[in-house]
Amino acid sequence: MLWLVSYDITGDNERRRVHETLKDYGYSVQRSVFECDLDDAVRLTLERRLTGLIEEQIDSIRLYRLCASCAPQTRVLGRNKSEKPGAVEVI
């Protein structure tokens, strides 16, 4: 199942750790936004890992589930920068 994960982290070290952790589960589509293909068990593991990296009183991480019929309808306006493995850029 495709999940969109966004974060707003105040501390540089915490933000770097969250970013590096998310790279283990998906690919960056913007600076603080990742797309991750996760089943329920892996998502719960990711949530536990992320919770341990942030200050819950000041930081925020949001996970949005993208249904199978909704994900293909995603539209990108402007530059389509992605770190998706195997992504091909035609020039």
Q: What is the pTM of this model?
A: 0.83
User: Is the pLDDT at 6 greater than 80, yes or no?
Assistant: yes
Contact 47, 56 (CB under 8 A): no
The more confidently predicted of residues 77 and 2 is 2
Identify the domain containing residue 19 by its residue range: 2-73
Q: Which of 20, 25, 29, 17 is closest to 59 using CA atoms?
A: 17
Residue 82 lies in a domain: no
Q: Is the pLDDT of residue 88 over 70?
A: no
| Percent residues over pLDDT 70 in the chain | 88
Residue 78 has a pLDDT of: 85
CATH at residue 66:
3.30.70.240
Q: Is residue 60 part of a domain?
A: yes
Please tell me the predicted confidence (pLDDT) of residue 16.
97
Residue 87 located in a structural domain: no
Considering the domain boundaries, does residue 27 fall inside one? Answer: yes
Residues 47-84: pLDDT tens digits?
Answer: 999 999 999 999 999 999 998 888 888 888 887 766 66
